């Protein structure tokens, strides 16, 4: 057994656009001068290491309130906030991220991307806390004072927004409270009020992250420092003088220069590390083209850039393992586990990275949207033709949902020619919303078209004492007993004899095209003659052809009361043949 060490927890920051994710990270990075200060913040590739001494400096006496011996060496924040960076922090069965901070604008509450973040965090089973940001936007907020010492009207305003947020969270089955009220952090989500702009609440936020890491994640964070390294690709980048490089978050073991590694791509690549690069401190950079320093080895947790041959097809969100050909099969099966192909009818989905595809599949499944096939890459002709084939069975599923994946030019033309809708977007919830809106609009249009082509079922009674004209046309007062009565409808009696057709309908002297169930209206009936084929008290039905009866009964959205009426009309016709 090698030496054991407790690595830093890897922390990702998520939230809705403009809610303050980047500002929060900027404040944490800028709070301690990195250059020449012992225990200062260290910049990694794609991550910022905030060591324990820096946390101690930011938190002051707060850490002593934890009343626990802190063995965590610091916190490693992923620099790029947001869902995409988070989903790229994937590994088999979960996420490389140990903790997450969900930044929510206290004044706005949970917005679409906040909801999406919650879904993604739940899907990856990553514990998180909520930074209720922009408390400094509350009128009268005094920076530097705790909430309990703010003016009463400020506290009232804070709690109004706070309880709105608690209500939103409870709708998602999330039990949350102010961090200071929580006794058991395994049962409730902690909310820490912060101002990412002014720094209020950030010491408390770091304190909670340190406490959670020490109390609940210590076993997960304990690694063998000399075991073969395991990481995940955060980004694939072209670097001048280096060619294609991969930015990797190392979450376990050690990575050494000249190690043989297996890198995730369509077909896993076995290659040898040429260089492990970390960024130089800002004051050491003399030439913008010379931003990196070469290191011989790095131990988890760390963010590094790897330069090696044959990285052109590496994919963000896939693993990097120290090892050789023996690991290729393992990595291939990991990628096959993510991409899906089924024999059932469903939408075609595309995503730009493995993590994005995983998140998209998870959210679509939770929303009950069936998936035919989900793969990584650009939208191709094959995707369009498969969606077109699905559309022949169910046009509402014959679509392509593309998350951050471009559409190849030929595929775009093919989609137009075959009338295959392609939905594109960079926010899963928005993509899903656009698709659902389209389905709703198309179904409404279909229903309106059906209604135009199909006679609506209606049942009316001629009210005694309301005969205004005997014939040419007969004008009588009627009550709509069921369904609806439309102009141009033919009317029959319960002997299936047609008595005339509805020329016009009036409700309180206004002409209307249609009368609804329960309404009493004046109707002019062309062809009806009072005392000959129509009498006071008669019950009449709209005459519906056999084709229309079948079409109405096959409509799943037909209200139950109208379905019963259609069957009644069908039976009258059947018994009088």
CATH number, domain with residue 360:
3.40.50.10050
476 CB-near residues (< 8 Å, 6+ apart): 462, 463, 466, 467, 468, 469, 522, 523, 525, 530, 534, 536
Q: Where are the beta strands (DSSP E) in 243-300?
A: 243-252, 254-256, 260-263, 269-272, 275-279, 292-295, 297-299
Considering only residues 85 and 159, tell me which one the structure prediction assigns the higher pLDDT: 159
Same domain, 229 and 217: no
83 is catalytic: yes
Q: Mean pLDDT over residues 326-349, rounded? A: 88
How is the beta sheet containing 347-351 ordered, strand by strand? Answer: 340-341, 371-376, 347-351, 400-403, 422-425
Domain end marker among 449, 468, 490: 449
Same domain, 233 and 219: no
Same domain, 317 and 190: no
Q: Comparing C-alpha atoms, which of 178, 133, 176, 140 is closest to residue 157? A: 140
What pLDDT is stored for residue 44 in this prediction? 64
Cα atoms in the 13 Å half-sphere on the side-chain side of 502: 32
| Domain CATH for 527 | 2.40.30.10
What pLDDT is stored for residue 282 in this prediction? 47
Same domain, 440 and 405: yes
Distances (CA, A) of 451 to 395, 498, 557: 20, 21, 12
- What is this structure's pTM? 0.72
Q: Mean pLDDT over residues 525-548, rounded? A: 94
What pLDDT is stored for residue 35 in this prediction? 33
Same domain, 232 and 186: no
Residue-wise pLDDT for 244-278, tens only, equals: 999 999 999 999 999 999 999 888 999 999 999 98
Domain residues for the domain of 137 are 4-223
pLDDT level of residue 36 (50, 70, 90 thresholds):
very low
Same domain, 442 and 503: no
- Alpha helices by DSSP H, 292-408: 328-338, 354-366, 381-393
Residue-wise pLDDT for 15-27, tens only, equals: 888 888 888 988 8
Residue-wise pLDDT for 387-396, tens only, equals: 999 999 999 9
Q: Do the beta carbons of residue 216 and residue 186 sit within 8 Å?
A: yes
Instruction: Give the Cα separation of 401 and 351 in Å (integer).
Output: 9
Residue-wise pLDDT for 408-460, tens only, equals: 999 999 999 999 999 999 888 889 999 999 999 998 888 777 766 668 899 99
Same domain, 443 and 466: no
Considering only residues 48 and 151, tell me which one the structure prediction assigns the higher pLDDT: 151
Same domain, 63 and 9: yes
Strand partners, 478: 462, 521
- Say which range, 32-41, 46-55, 125-134, 428-437, has the weakest mean pLDDT: 32-41
> How many independent structural domains does the chain possess?
4
**3-state DSSP assignment of residue 502:** strand
Characterize the bridge pairing of strands 99-105 and 10-15: parallel
Q: Do the beta carbons of residue 316 and residue 355 sit within 8 Å?
A: yes
Q: Where are the beta strands (DSSP E) in 126-217?
A: 128-133, 176-178, 189-193
Catalytic residue chosen out of the listed positions 83, 153, 161, 575: 83
467 CB-near residues (< 8 Å, 6+ apart): 474, 475, 476, 477, 530, 536
Q: Mean pLDDT over residues 101-118, rounded? A: 92
Same domain, 436 and 469: no
Instruction: Give the Cα separation of 524 and 483 in Å (integer).
Output: 19
Could you tell me what percent of the chain has a pLDDT over 70?
Answer: 94
| Domain CATH for 75 | 3.40.50.300
Residue-wise pLDDT for 185-235, tens only, equals: 999 999 999 999 999 999 999 999 999 999 999 999 999 888 999 999 988
Domain end marker among 285, 308, 331: 331
Q: Do the beta carbons of residue 393 and residue 419 sit within 8 Å?
A: no
Same domain, 218 and 229: no
Same domain, 344 and 405: yes
Same domain, 11 and 75: yes
Instruction: Give the Cα separation of 498 and 365 in Å (integer).
Output: 52
Domain end marker among 425, 449, 473: 449
* 304, two tokens: 């590094």
pLDDT level of residue 94 (50, 70, 90 thresholds):
confident
Mean pLDDT, all residues of the chain: 89
């Amino acid at each position: 057994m090698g030496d054991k060490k407790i690595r830093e927890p890897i922390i990702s920051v998520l939230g809705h656009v403009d809610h303050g994710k980047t500002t929060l990270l900027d404040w944490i990075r800028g709070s301690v001068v990195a250059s020449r200060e012992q225990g200062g913040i260290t910049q990694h590739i794609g991550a910022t290491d905030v060591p324990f001494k820096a946390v101690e400096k930011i938190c002051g006496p707060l850490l002593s309130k934890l009343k626990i011996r802190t063995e965590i060496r610091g916190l490693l924040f992923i620099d790029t906030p947001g869902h995409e960076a988070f989903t790229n922090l994937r590994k088999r069965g979960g996420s490389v991220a140990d903790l997450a901070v969900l930044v929510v604008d206290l004044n706005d509450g949970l917005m679409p991307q906040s909801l999406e973040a919650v879904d993604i965090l739940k899907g990856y089973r990553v514990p998180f806390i909520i930074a209720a940001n922009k408390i400094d936007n509350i009128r009268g907020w005094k920076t530097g004072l705790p909430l309990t010492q703010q003016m009463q009207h400020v506290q009232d305003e804070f709690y109004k927004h706070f309880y709105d947020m608690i209500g939103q969270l409870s709708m998602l089955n999330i039990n949350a409270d102010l961090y200071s009220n929580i006794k058991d952090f395994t049962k409730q989500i902690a909310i820490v009020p912060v101002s990412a702009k002014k720094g209020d609440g950030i010491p408390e936020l770091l304190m909670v992250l340190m406490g959670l890491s020490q109390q609940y994640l210590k076993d997960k964070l304990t690694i063998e420092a000399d075991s073969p390294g395991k990481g995940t690709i955060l980004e694939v980048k072209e670097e001048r003088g280096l060619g294609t490089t991969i930015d990797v978050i190392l979450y376990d073991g050690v990575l050494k220069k000249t190690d043989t590694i297996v890198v995730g791509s369509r077909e896993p690549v076995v290659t040898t590390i040429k260089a492990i690069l970390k960024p130089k401190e800002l004051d050491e950079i003399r030439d913008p083209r010379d931003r990196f320093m070469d290191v011989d080895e790095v131990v988890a947790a760390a963010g590094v850039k790897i330069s090696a041959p044959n990285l052109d097809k590496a994919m963000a969100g896939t693993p990097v393992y120290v090892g050789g050909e023996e690991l290729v099969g393992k990595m291939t099966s990991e990628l096959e586990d993510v991409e899906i192909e089924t024999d059932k009818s469903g939408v075609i989905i595309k995503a730009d990275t493995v993590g994005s595809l995983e998140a998209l599949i998870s959210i679509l499944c939770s929303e009950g949207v069936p998936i035919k096939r989900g793969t990584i890459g650009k939208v191709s002709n094959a995707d369009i033709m498969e969606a077109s084939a699905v559309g022949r069975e169910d046009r509402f599923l014959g679509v392509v949902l593309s998350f951050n994946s471009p559409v190849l030019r030929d595929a775009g033309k093919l989609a137009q020619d075959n009338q295959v809708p392609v939905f594109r977007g960079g926010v899963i919830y928005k993509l899903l919303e656009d698709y659902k809106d389209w389905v709703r609009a198309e179904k409404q249009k279909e229903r309106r078209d059906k209604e135009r082509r199909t006679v609506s079922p209606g049942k009316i009674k001629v009210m005694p004492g309301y005969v205004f004209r005997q014939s040419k046309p007969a004008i009588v007062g009627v009550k709509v007993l069921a369904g609806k009565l439309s102009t141009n409808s033919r009317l029959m009696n319960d002997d299936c004899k047609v008595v005339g057709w509805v020329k016009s309908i009036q409700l309180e002297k206004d002409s209307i095209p249609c009368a609804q169930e329960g309404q009493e209206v004046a109707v002019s009936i062309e062809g009806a003659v009072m005392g000959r084929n129509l009498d006071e008290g008669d019950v009449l039905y709209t005459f519906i052809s056999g084709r229309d009866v079948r079409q109405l009964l096959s409509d799943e959205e037909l209200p139950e009361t109208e379905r019963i009426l259609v069957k009644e009309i069908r039976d009258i016709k059947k018994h009088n043949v």
